[in-house]
Structure 1
Amino acid sequence: MNAEKHVLNVVWDDYKREMGPALKEVNKVPYERIIADLLSVGEFYYYTLNIGDSSINNFHENILRLHGIKKYPWHLSEIISLIHPEDIPFVIEAERLAINKLREIGWAHKMNLKSSYCFRMRTGDGTYQLFHHQALTIKEDESGKMVEAINIHTNIQHITAINSYTVLISGISPRTDFYQIGLKPELMLKPSLPQSLTKRELEILKLIAQGHSSNEIADLLFLSSLTVRTHRKNILRKTEAKNGSDLVKRCIEWGLI
């Protein structure tokens, strides 16, 4: 197949030294670790993206049903065609900001840094619904150039239809990075977070969003269950959330997860 162009090439072509065709792979794909870090708040699918030619493969079967398509796409341009046209400019700028932040942090850490943001996509019933996009580099070549990424799309329309227009760069264990980059604050319909969350509270918040109970979070973070429950109460109080579901909704709208 001949290489095709797509709108993100206007961004990626500026980073050819860091992003390009695969040479000899030097790492195995940590799929179990990646799936464990999913935002578990709705139906999702994933696929792997070859950075060099934008071909895609290794699909989760949900992609067919969620988007009402009959065959698996082979190129990123087919995924982009499902995005609401009005959201394309945001997606281009979000991708540019995400890559710039990864470069600023250091490309050596790219396999432990996840970028995420939201946009609307066409679904099987013909409507556009809000999806949460997560991307993580999973393969590099001998020179350290990123050659393959996994993209995870989760339908969050049942939680909120409000896009925070925020790019989030977060660390994957052992890194604990957390960077929010707001693109269109004038379009954010929710007020600012009433009180800032601590680094530990943000860590617990991410695990709450993944569906973990307080006891499970305690085991994962080597904390007592009482400590986790105290943090959870403080998070609910600071975010003015009524319960766990309301907490996830508010934090998506604030661009915290």
Structure 2
Amino acid sequence: MEDAEKKHPLIEVWNTYPGVRQSGKKNLSIPPIERIIGEMFAIGEYYYYVLNLTNSTLSHHHENILKLHGLKKYPENLKEVIDLTHPDDIEFVMKAEQTVIQKMVEIGLKHQLYTKASYCFRMKTASGKYELFHHQAIPTMEDEHGQLVQSINIHTNINHITKENPHTVLVSGIGHRKDFHQVNLDCKVDDELLESLTKRENEILSLIAKGYSGPEIAKILILSEHTVRTHRKNILRKTKSRNSKELLKKAFENGLI
């Protein structure tokens, strides 16, 4: 972090978060990626990388990062990934990270390993064009003092679903946590749509986005298949969606996932 070429605009934001360790820590073990993949949405081509939050270095990259962005080698520092972000979206990304920090402080740092943050922004692809990506960040490791030292970031190209960035930040619980905190930073989403879905319907929507079938959702939530079908019909009706594809488009555009 002392190297000016490796500094990036998020360092200053992260330094305001009491849950992040400030000093460098170079060697970290790989997080349980198999478990984490189960918590992510991948409605399109995606990749992930492990981020060392103490020095912004990257490791354990998914190979798709090379293909999607036309890179010749794996990026070693987060600055290289941020440099792929559309210049007009940098300010939003910084505000989004500030919002995540505020919500994490409200939730409580002791719960930070059971949360996930997500939002969208444009990134440069191998074609040279900027396309919309869905960003998810899942904390994976604390040090002995409970300070965050590692996360895994997942980027999914959703340009084929929507090109509209909702400018919405979502902080949700994973595992036993049921948090669902949504902050609109642009005030252009359909507030009526957002308020119409119940907590259970939002939960089912997230599982639909993960690709789970009705019977699988019923098993996960310990519900009858009939109840899941009823919830799905209600979700489609409330969002004015004709099918799952249209539902996912509206869900991304309204920052529901």
Give the equivalent residue in structure 2 for 1:230: 230
TM-score, normalising length: structure 2: 0.94
Structure 1 runs (4+) deviating above 4 angstroms are 22-28
Give the equivalent residue in structure 1 for 2:74: 72
Instruction: Name the aligned partner's letter for residue 233 of structure 1.
Output: K
Compare 70-79 and 9-18 and name the one that shifted more.
Answer: 9-18
Structure 1: state its 5+ residue gaps: none
Deviation at 1:252, TM superposition (A): 0.5
Give the equivalent residue in structure 1 for 2:153: 151
SS in 2 for 1:14: coil
Give the equivalent residue in structure 2 for 1:117: 119
Say whether 1:209 aligns with 2:206: no
TM-score, normalising length: structure 1: 0.94
Deviation at 1:192, TM superposition (A): 4.1
SS in 2 for 1:193: helix
| 1:25–1:140 CA contact under 8 A, matched in 2 | no
Deviations 1:40-95 (A, max 9, x none): 21110000111111000110000000000110000000000000000000000100
For 1:233 and 1:202, the matched residues in 2 are separated by 13
Deviation at 1:26, TM superposition (A): 11
Instruction: Name the aligned partner's letter for residue 183 of structure 1.
Output: L
Structure 2: state its 5+ residue gaps: none
SS in 2 for 1:49: strand
> Cα–Cα, structure 1 residues 113 and 210, in superposed 2: closer, same or farther, change >3 Å?
same
> How many residues matched?
255
| 2:85–2:122 CA contact under 8 A, matched in 1 | yes
Instruction: Name the aligned partner's letter for residue 214 of structure 1.
Output: G
Deviation at 1:22, TM superposition (A): 6.4
For 1:191 and 1:99, the matched residues in 2 are separated by 23
Match of 1:5 among 4, 7, 27: 7
| 1:22–1:140 CA contact under 8 A, matched in 2 | no
Give the equivalent residue in structure 1 for 2:197: 197
| 1:25–1:142 CA contact under 8 A, matched in 2 | no
Deviation at 1:256, TM superposition (A): 0.3
Deviations 1:214-248 (A, max 9, x none): 01111111111111001100110111101011001
For 1:88 and 1:173, the matched residues in 2 are separated by 31
SS in 1 for 2:196: coil
| 2:15–2:22 CA contact under 8 A, matched in 1 | no
Deviation at 1:194, TM superposition (A): 7.1
Deviations 1:81-131 (A, max 9, x none): 000000000000100110111111001000110000000000000000000
Match of 1:172 among 150, 171, 174: 174
Deviations 1:134-154 (A, max 9, x none): 001101100000000100000
Deviation at 1:29, TM superposition (A): 2.7
Deviation at 1:30, TM superposition (A): 2.9
| 1:44–1:153 CA contact under 8 A, matched in 2 | yes
Deviation at 1:15, TM superposition (A): 2.5
For 2:191 and 2:221, the matched residues in 1 are separated by 31
What root-mean-square deviation, in Å, do the aligned CA atoms of Structure 1 and Structure 2 show? 2.1
Say whether 1:32 aligns with 2:46: no
Compare 14-23 and 174-183 and name the one that shifted more.
Answer: 14-23
Deviation at 1:5, TM superposition (A): 1.0
Give the equivalent residue in structure 1 for 2:240: 240
Match of 1:51 among 44, 50, 53: 53
